[in-house]
């Protein structure tokens, strides 16, 4: 066998590193028949999960802000949001085009599919700069099906969520992760130049306009570039070119500030600069977490990760890869591990979505190692390693489907909640929900009742005037989840459950035999049009001494109702529109079970 042919076979097996700019597309075109079926199955599985996977409470929160954009409301000034604005603003045209629909979450999730595919493409393209096209393609496929990773020992405890499942949800983190991987792709797919650094900086600036959590990426990327430069960078005349690094760094910083500066100027021009700063910056900082003890613990946790990064860098430096491949693989490794270290060590509120940029970045390292190890295992037992890594994908898919069955529809309840809200209320009416889960209605209380707001309410940082707003805006429909204790009691006294997680204005009174000696005396806190009913239908009687047979307007204050002798059993006073549209306070309601997604 000739040397060129022998080398080509070794490269195809992933034994030898690929050239700096491999023909990835040519490899894919030549072997499309091997890739087509797994790709189609992956997309089909993805769509099935998009339509059936449970809805996280953050998804309607973001959709509510998108709805506000379509109604001419300005986030931060007219509608609260503690996220940077770019993602929601970009989604507004599609949301408007789809129209008002209870299942809006499903097509908006489908719109996230290109971001998912872009992220996987970036993984494959980055890996192709230091490995063969075959290894790159299967590394991207493994990243696409990234299963949960759980590691617990005496020295370390990790519980990584599934990238495949986490990236299904409609949230800014999808764009955030895709742009982060695109930034890494720009950096590793060519020689370091100021122009390339400028483009990478622009992309990182886009990430800041999507999420202020991009400060993690900035820190990780700065450390990764410096570490790769010192440990793996090529020397010019025996010396490292610090001036070239400085030029690239300056270009990157210049590019990074452009998009965030435009966003800030836009909100300042629209007269919402102070509100933008208060919501995006101030609101997300809890001073209770900022103390010397917390900083010391964060630093100690960070120090524990330093040996992992150092050992990994040393192993890469001593590998048999070509110098260019080492630097690219090293940059990917350092970017992922530094982000991981900063996230685990010092991030004050750790949520599953914070890992979405990390998981595909880890795929840049774990994917090739798995494929290389898989090939080595096959060669050890005398099997040709030119077969695909399909068994690894099947194993990942099996783990995912064992966690969540793709055929079990877990979206019905929350889609039904939106449908009930649309059926019960007009667009100009207010609905009090915790995080915007009714999507299409304004909230009477400015703040969203998420973790930071609840902390601020508890510590007196923001005024708790929810009850006053319910009364002032005559709110007919509420949800009780996440509400403070005083507000919860008020809702229990003045609203009745009418559907899953929804309550409408109303009160329930004791059975007739407990009222034999006089009328029912009650207080109206929120004026509205009410109807007295029993489980059998409308309850006739005297209201404040006047005979009634149907709905009536009740003003705030004390009232008396004396039901007719025919009214038996429990009696309820209910917002009349709910009864007119087929709802009953006596109808059975599905049990509400709290989940981590609530």
pLDDT of residue 34: 76
**383 and 418 both lie in a single domain:** no
pLDDT of residue 149: 67
Q: Per the structure, how many domains does the chain have? A: 2
Task: For residues 392 and 533, state if they share a domain.
Answer: no
pLDDT value of position 517: 61
CA proximity to 159, closest of 151, 169, 167: 151
Same domain (yes/no): 399, 424: no
Least confident of 11-20, 171-180, 259-268: 11-20
Give the model's pLDDT for residue 16: 38
Is residue 344 in a domain?
yes
Same domain, yes or no, for 111 and 21? yes
Give yes or no: residues 30 and 144 share one domain: yes
In the prediction, which pLDDT does 158 show?
56
Q: Considering 403, 431, 459, which residue would you say is the last residue of a domain?
A: 403
Let me know whether 398 and 438 are in one domain. Answer: no
Bridge-based pairing of strands 552-554 and 495-499 is unpaired
426 and 295 in one domain? no
Residues 462 and 544 in one domain: yes
What range defines the domain where residue 489 resides? 413-580
Q: Which carries the bigger pLDDT value, residue 30 or residue 263? A: 263
Q: What is the pLDDT of residues 526-556, one digit of tens each?
A: 999 999 998 888 888 899 989 888 899 999 9
pLDDT recorded at residue 8: 41
Quick one: DSSP state of residue 287?
Answer: G
pLDDT tens-digit profile of 312-323? 888 888 888 888
Same domain, 275 and 129: yes
Single residue among 383, 403, 423 that ends a domain in this structure: 403
What is the mean predicted confidence (pLDDT) over 568-572?
82
Residue with the bigger pLDDT between 7 and 395: it is 395
List Cβ neighbours of 222 (8 Å cut-off, separation of 6 or more). none
Question: Same domain, yes or no, for 370 and 449?
Answer: no
Angstrom distance (rounded) from CA 260 to CA 307: 35
- For residue 589, being part of any structural domain is answered with no
Other beta carbons within 10 angstroms of residue 372's beta carbon come to 17
Per-residue pLDDT tens for 434-475?
Answer: 999 999 999 999 999 988 898 889 888 899 999 999 999 999
**148 contacts: CB under 8 Å, gap ≥ 6:** 159, 160, 161, 162, 399, 403
Residue 120 confidence (pLDDT) above 70: yes
pLDDT at 20: 40
Please state, rounded to an integer, the average pLDDT across all residues of the chain.
86
In-domain check, residue 597: no
Average pLDDT value for residue range 482-488: 93
Of 375, 403, 431, at which residue does a domain stop? 403
In a domain, 586, yes or no: no
| Residue 408 located in a structural domain | no
In a domain, 594, yes or no: no
């Amino acid at each position: 066998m000739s040397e060129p042919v022998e080398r080509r076979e070794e490269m195809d097996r992933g034994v030898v590193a690929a050239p700096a700019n491999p023909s990835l597309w040519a490899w894919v075109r030549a072997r499309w028949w091997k890739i087509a079926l797994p790709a189609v199955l992956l997309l089909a599985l993805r769509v099935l999960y998009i339509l059936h996977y449970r809805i996280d409470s953050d998804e309607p929160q973001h959709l509510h802000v998108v709805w506000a954009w379509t109604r001419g409301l300005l986030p931060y000034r007219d509608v609260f949001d503690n996220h940077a604005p770019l993602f929601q603003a970009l989604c507004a045209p599609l949301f408007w085009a789809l129209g008002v629909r209870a299942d809006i979450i499903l097509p908006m999730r489908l719109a996230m599919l290109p971001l998912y595919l872009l992220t996987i493409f970036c993984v494959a393209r980055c890996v192709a700069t230091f490995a063969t096209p075959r290894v790159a393609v299967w590394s991207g496929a493994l990243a696409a099906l990234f299963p949960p990773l759980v590691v617990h020992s005496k020295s370390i405890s990790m519980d990584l969520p599934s990238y495949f499942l986490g990236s299904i949800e409609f949230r800014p983190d999808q764009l955030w992760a895709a742009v982060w991987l695109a930034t890494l792709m720009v950096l590793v797919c060519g020689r370091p130049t100021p122009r390339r650094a400028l483009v990478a900086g622009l992309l990182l600036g886009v990430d800041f306009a999507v999420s202020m959590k991009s400060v993690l990426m900035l820190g990780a990327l700065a450390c990764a570039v410096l570490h790769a430069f010192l440990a793996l960078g090529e020397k010019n005349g025996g010396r490292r070119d610090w001036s070239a690094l400085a030029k690239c760094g300056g270009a990157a910083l210049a590019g990074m500030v452009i998009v965030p500066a435009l966003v800030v100027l836009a909100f300042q021009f629209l007269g919402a600069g102070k509100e933008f700063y208060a919501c995006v910056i101030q609101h997300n900082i809890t001073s209770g977490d900022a103390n010397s003890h917390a900083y010391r613990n964060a630093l100690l946790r960070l120090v524990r990760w330093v040996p992992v990064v150092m050992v990994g860098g040393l192993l890469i430096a001593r590998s048999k890869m070509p110098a260019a491949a080492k630097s690219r693989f090293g940059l990917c490794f350092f970017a992922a591990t530094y982000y991981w270290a900063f996230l685990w060590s010092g991030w004050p509120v750790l949520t599953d979505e914070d890992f979405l940029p990390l998981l595909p970045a880890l795929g840049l390292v774990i994917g090739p190692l798995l494929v290389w190890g898989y090939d080595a295992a096959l060669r050890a037992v005398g099997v040709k390693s030119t077969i695909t890594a399909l068994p690894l994908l099947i194993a990942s898919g099996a783990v995912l489907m064992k966690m969540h069955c793709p055929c079990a529809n877990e979206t019905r309840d929350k889609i039904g909640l939106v449908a009930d809200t649309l059926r019960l209320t007009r667009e100009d009416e207010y609905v009090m929900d915790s995080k915007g889960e009714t999507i299409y209605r304004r909230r009477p209380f400015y703040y969203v009742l998420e973790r930071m707001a609840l902390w601020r309410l508890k510590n007196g940082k923001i005024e708790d005037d929810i009850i006053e707003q319910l009364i002032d805006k005559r709110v007919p429909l509420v949800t009780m989840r996440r509400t403070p204790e005083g507000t919860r009691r008020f809702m229990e006294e003045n609203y009745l459950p009418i559907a899953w997680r929804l309550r409408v204005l109303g009160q329930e009174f004791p059975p007739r035999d407990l009222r034999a000696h006089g009328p029912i005396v009650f207080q109206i806190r929120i004026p509205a049009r009410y109807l007295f009913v029993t489980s059998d239908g409308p309850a006739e009687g005297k209201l404040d001494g006047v005979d009634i047979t149907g709905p009536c307007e009740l003003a705030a204050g004390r009232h008396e109702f004396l039901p007719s002798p025919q009214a038996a059993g429990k009696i309820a006073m209910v917002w009349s529109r709910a009864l007119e549209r087929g709802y009953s306070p006596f109808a059975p309601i599905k049990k509400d079970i709290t989940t981590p997604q609530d």
